[in-house]
Amino acid sequence: MNEPHDVDIGIWANTVHAAVTAIRTAGATTQMILLPGNNFTSAGQFVSNGSGGALLNVTNPDGSTTGLIMDVHKYLDVDNSGEHAECTTDNISDAFAIVAAFLRENGRQAMVSETGAGSTSSVGCSPPYKETALTLSSASQTSAPKILSSTRTQTYSSATLLGQQALFQPCMF
């Protein structure tokens, strides 16, 4: 279930729910399952295109949402493709802040599973990124959401949870 696009979000959410039920019923009861949204699961459109709202209805067979993590992607280049060397945005105000607010309002979490930045110093970005870390830390594990992301330049994977209290902190290592 990676990067669905041009789908009816209601039908997609029902499909994701069926997949979660099958995975949990097969015995994977403690593993994290990522729930991607429409339009390549872009963080910039996750709330506005209805993905977040539709995926709120996805639950485990017991009705809980434990281990069900919404999945978002976001790149720092001009067209969100990750294919351009110039970094043009930090995506905080137009993407991550919106998603984090949605998650807080709904007591849910998300993972930024794909992200990347170019290797140039550009508007909206710090000087050359060898690694980028976005952290949204929490004072309490009980008041979702929570973000932690670590991504190498031009390597499009991360370990990020969106949530808890809001302080994005771009870092260079």
Q: What are the catalytic residues? A: 3, 114
> Which residues 6+ apart lie within 8 Å of 90 measured at CB?
76, 124, 125, 168, 170
| Contact yes or no for 72/99 (Cβ under 8 A) | yes
| Contact yes or no for 59/27 (Cβ under 8 A) | no
| Contact yes or no for 72/41 (Cβ under 8 A) | yes
Two tokens, residue 126: 């710090």
Nearest alpha carbon to residue 42 among 70, 13, 84: 70
Chain Cα centroid distance, residue 96: 8
Burial class (CB in 10 A: 0-12, 13-18, 19+), 62: exposed
The helix/strand/coil state of 143 is: coil
